[in-house]
Structure 1
Amino acid sequence: MESHPANPDDAGPFFHGTRADLQPGDLLVPGYASNYGERKTANHIYFTATLDAATWGAELSAGEGTSRIYQVEPTGPFENDPNLTDKKFPGNPTRSYRTREPLRVLDEVKDWQPHSSEALQHMLNHLEELKRQGIEAID
């Protein structure tokens, strides 16, 4: 039995954190290198309904570009992100989702607040320790 519904009942708004420079109307699609971890080909596009989770996505994504958060809309069905829901946060309090369908960029969120440098360094240290243990913390 699947532990995450195929169509969560969340109306958003939804956000995607990245370093990519996108414009309204652009589509985010799976099939490219992930912005996280070992940069494996991503079979899903990940998004969230909380600015905090999108902030982590923007701050932790690979690359040298500016961290950005976009308001997005799914163009098809989506499900709870099992990497978080099943493994870390039962019930999905982070309201994190994934889809195999494109996400349409609606607008860039300009007024988000980054995490403190201490909180960011703590997260980076934690992810590095998990990596040393052979755990791919971000898929």
Structure 2
Amino acid sequence: MGEKSSSHVPVTHERCAHVEGPFYHGTKAALQAGDELVPGYGSNFQEGRVSNHVYFTALVDTAAWGAELATALAGSAERGHVYVVEPLGPFEDDPNVTDERFPGNPTQSYRTRHPLRVVGELDDWEGHDPEVLEGMLDSLTRLRERGLDVIED
């Protein structure tokens, strides 16, 4: 896990222009084109935590996880939403899923302290099987019980 991928070039605030979209954000929130997602609001994944970054990805599947987990953790049976977004400032690799945890950035996940503009909603995204989602939720519960559900924000 701690070994870095030799082909991954780290994405930093100073070196992110080469990363091309489209980009996606999965959430429980109902938004419209033109809305902006900004840091400073409650985390979808840890109650009582304010997020210092806004997180996004270049993969629909990763955004689908975000939408499904955010709604499930909120106690909602809703599907959630996956939005096409545009970062309005520099961004970097999400350290929660790169290098220290997974070599490189296999989920193509990023974070920014700048707004993300919602371009539109992706309606035809495929969710995960209920058993797979339940397995992920169980894993998160086990991490929380052991105090290992750390978010580097």
* TM-score, normalised by the number of residues in structure 1: 0.91
Contact 1:37 1:137 in 2 (8 A): no
- State the match for 2:89 in structure 1: 76
Q: Within 1, Cα distance between the matches of 2:120 and 2:53? A: 21
Q: Relative to structure 1, is the Cα distance of residues 97 and 122 closer, same or farther in structure 2, using a 3 angstrom cutoff? A: same
Unmatched runs of 5 consecutive residues or more in structure 2: 1-9
Q: Could you list the per-position Cα deviations for residues 29-50 of structure 1 after superposition, in whole angstroms to 9, with x for gaps in the alignment?
A: 0001111123411100000000
Pairwise CA distance, 1:136: 1.5
Larger radius of gyration: 2
Q: Which among 92, 97, 101 is matched to residue 88 of structure 1?
A: 101
Q: Within 2, Cα distance between the matches of 1:138 and 1:118? A: 25
The one-letter code sitting in structure 2 at the alignment partner of 1:107 is: G
RMSD: 1.6
- State the match for 2:129 in structure 1: 116
The one-letter code sitting in structure 1 at the alignment partner of 2:12 is: P
Q: Could you list the per-position Cα deviations for residues 60-89 of structure 1 after superposition, in whole angstroms to 9, with x for gaps in the alignment?
A: 114335411000000000000011113322
Q: Does 1:15 align with 2:43?
A: no
Q: Which among 69, 73, 83 is matched to residue 60 of structure 1?
A: 69
- State the match for 2:54 in structure 1: 45
Q: Within 2, Cα distance between the matches of 1:122 and 1:66? A: 17
Unmatched runs of 5 consecutive residues or more in structure 1: none
The one-letter code sitting in structure 2 at the alignment partner of 1:15 is: Y
- State the match for 1:5 in structure 2: 12
Q: Within 1, Cα distance between the matches of 2:151 and 2:136? A: 12
